[in-house]
Chains A and B, each alone.
Chain A
Amino acid sequence: MSPDCQSTRDLISDSIAGTLPEAAEQTLRTHLDACPECRRYAQALEQEDALLADHFTQIEAGRAARQARVLDTLRNHYAEPGTDPLSIRSRILKRRISQLALAAAAVFAIVMGLHLCGDTFRTTNTVYALDQTVAAMSAVRFVHVVRRDEVGGPLQEERWIEIGPDGRQVRYRHDKPPHHFVINDGEVTARYDRFAKTVILYDTNEMPYRWIDPLGQTFENLSQEGMIVEEDARFRGRRVHRVWWPMMREVCCVDPVTRRAIAIGDLELSYEEPPAGTFAITQPEDYDRVNDPAEAGGQEDVLYADVELINPERAMMEIINRHDIMRLYSMGPHRYEGDLDLRVRCDSDVAWGLSIAGMETAEGTGSCWVDKFELAAPGGVATVGVKFTGDAPRASKVATVRLSPTPLPDPAHDARAWQTLGLALYDARRYEEALDAFEKMEAGTNADREDQALAVTWQGHMLDLLGRREEAIARYREVIGMGLDSSVQHGRYGLTYDFTSYPQQRIEAPFTRVENRDAY
């Protein structure tokens, strides 16, 4: 197809839509007279337009009946004042009987889950399968997640999540000192600002806050793409199965009895019921309530700036309401500028990467951080919030924050993911597979020079452990040839090395195994 024909196809489409200017119509007609291929295309599009019109007319024909059903439902509602047709979930939660039924259903689900899990364990005591973890995790009611920098150290982050019998998050609490603290009680989300001593309340539909969404997708990924790295491993003194969970890009430690995850990367998980009041929203005496959407007609207390899309060919953006909240239809790597609380709707898994990239690259006129980030499933809504200190632009509305949300590549091409898996396989003494992982790490689409040097260094380590000394030495020479002057620290192995003297040492003496300290 000639470039002329390609551009003509857009004209054909516009002509059928009736949006083509008269002058362009003339150009189009001239081209169609001379080009049988485009003429056929025009005829096909006209035919499809007629089919579409017919299709939607048929649907529209049912409007009167549909509208009547809405009016009937409303009339029933008038007749029964006090019933709330608004939210099925809020109705369930507000009605005592339903609450009991819900609790019973949850208990039933947990009991059944444990029962099934227990049966599986008894009959397959020595055999572990990923699906057992998926089944066990699907049945949990509460998840308690904490992160510490070191064993026994202070909490860096804590989350409580209540999950309903349908697998959806019901309530949520996330405390990440010093600034971030959010409670979602199922109907209202309270966001506390400890610096400004304010609390903002949102309808939970507006500010949902979730840890992992959708859970089903993450479990599906574990079930289908996960890998058992080591069945009889140790993690901080406990016996565990170690499992590779690609979507999380992390190694997960599974309790061999309950089959539930007890750690994902540096996050520790447990499943106890939270203390009473964990999800209760309160207003400390010295805090101001900035806004109550319920009283202010759903408006939010956030500032919005004009948003400039830097890379428009890769993403489409539209302003969706009078507050100029931005929605970004993301179709690939992109950059944008904006102010506070950007709503981002993503059509791909790109959102997963936004959280990490955003946190790493946010910069502003004062210091700033990503206040929150919500993962969006394709077609869902994600939210990125950015808060400022220093020359806080909140008052001036002139601030610009630059986020460079370069999406993470698919785990199959993600250098960091291969590094994590490679080290886990090394821990499990699966050196051939680890070598393969470090080769894939080197080839990762997001591997920078240091990643590549690290990957080649570890290829050398694996080759040494496999007794392939000549090949190992070649790898160490390759690292020296890269001429990097940086160094790397592997805390859990007690290893610190650079990319010049260390590979030279390894040329002189082969690598000997060091153990993962997290295992003890």
Chain B
Amino acid sequence: MNDAVDDNAVRACQQGDEQAYATLVQRHYRHVFALCLGMVANVHDAEDIAQEAMLKGFSSIRKLTETERFEPWMLKIAKNLCLDFLRRQKRMKVRDAEPKIEHAKKTNDNHDLEQAIRALPMELRLPLTMYYFEQKKAENIARKLNISHSLVCQRIRAARNELHALLTEGDHHES
């Protein structure tokens, strides 16, 4: 059903109905943004990349042959842009640019939480972020990332354990 809505909107866009793309933005922006946020771990960068991805999708819509598969196509564009961004960012980083968690004793501090999320490896951060954007449904994440349900669960589990370790790092040092 959902694919049919996309299918119609994509076909309309391809036939020159530019406004039909607004429907696609409204339906998919949330997921594209969640993917970008999970990958780049910064709201502002994620917004920029998600916007660039949506615009790129618009410019390239005529190349989409499987018109009912707008979402995976769009997510692939976003993923590639994120990887490109991370490559550029890595190049510019100085030696000690890796985020570190220092004196993270309180778990009720959003700043510490953000830092800890950022310090997670991307393959753990991405499913964890999407988990909270996808109504906590692992099967949605599995479909969007095109990986198995069990792998999603495994990564979310690993992400929680790792996050807890990061947030309580200071406590362990003191004990």
Residue positions of A touching B, CB distance < 8 A: 9-10, 13-14, 16-19, 41, 44-45, 47-49, 51-53, 55-57, 59-60, 62-63, 66-67, 69-71, 73-74, 77-78, 84-87, 167-168, 205-206, 213-217, 220, 224, 294, 296-299, 316, 318-322, 329, 345, 347, 377-381
Contact = CB atoms under 8 A, between A and B. Distances in A.
A387 to B, nearest CB: 24
A56 to B, nearest CB: 4
Given A66-B47, A205-B80, A318-B145, A16 B107 contact: no
B164 A70 contact: no
Given A44-B168, A379-B86, 15 more contacts: A9-B161, A19-B153, A19-B156, A48-B107, A62-B43, A63-B29, A63-B33, A66-B29, A205-B84, A213-B87, A224-B95, A297-B66, A318-B151, A347-B121, A381-B83
Contacts of B153: 14, 17, 19
18 contacts: A10-B157, A13-B160, A14-B153, A17-B157, A52-B128, A63-B33, A66-B29, A66-B33, A66-B47, A66-B51, A85-B59, A86-B55, A205-B80, A213-B87, A214-B91, A217-B91, A316-B151, A318-B145
Contacts of B50: 66, 70
4 interchain residue pairs of minimum CB distance: A214-B91, A297-B65, A56-B132, A318-B147
A377 B122 CA distance: 14
B99 interface: no
A379 B138 contact: no
Given A59-B43, A297-B63, A316-B123, A74 B58 contact: yes
Contacts of B121: 347
B146 interface: yes
Contacts, number: 174
B51 A69 contact: yes
B115 to A, nearest CB: 12
Interface residues of B, number: 71
Nearest to B80: A205
B173 interface: no
A214 B87 contact: yes
Given A59-B43, A74-B58, A316-B123, A214 B90 contact: yes
B124 to A, nearest CB: 10
Contacts of B84: 205
Given A44-B164, A45-B160, A296-B65, A319 B91 contact: no
B63 A86 contact: no
B101 interface: no
